[in-house]
Amino acid sequence: MNLPNKLTILRMVLAVVFLVFLFAHGAIYKILAFLTFLIAALSDFFDGYLAKKYNMISDFGRLMDPIADKVLVIAAFLAFVEMDIVPAWMVVIIIFREFVVTGMRLLALQKREVIEATMGGKHKTVSQMVSIFIILLFLIFREFGRPFPEGIILVLMTITVILTIISGTSFFLRNRRIIWPNER
- Buried-exposed string 91-121: b where 16+ CB fall within 10 A, e elsewhere: bebbbebbeebeebbeebeeeeeebeeeebb
Percentage, residues of the chain above pLDDT 90: 74
Q: What is the CA radius of gyration of the chain?
A: 17
Q: What angle do CA 51, 73, 101 make, to 5 degrees?
A: 70
Predicted confidence (pLDDT) per residue in 27-79, tens digit: 999 999 999 999 999 998 899 899 999 999 887 887 788 889 999 999 999 99
Mean of pLDDT values over 99-117:
86
Predicted confidence (pLDDT) per residue in 138-166, tens digit: 999 999 999 999 899 999 999 999 999 99
User: What pTM does this model have?
Assistant: 0.91
Res. 114 pLDDT band, cuts 50 70 90: confident
Residue-level pLDDT at 184 = 57
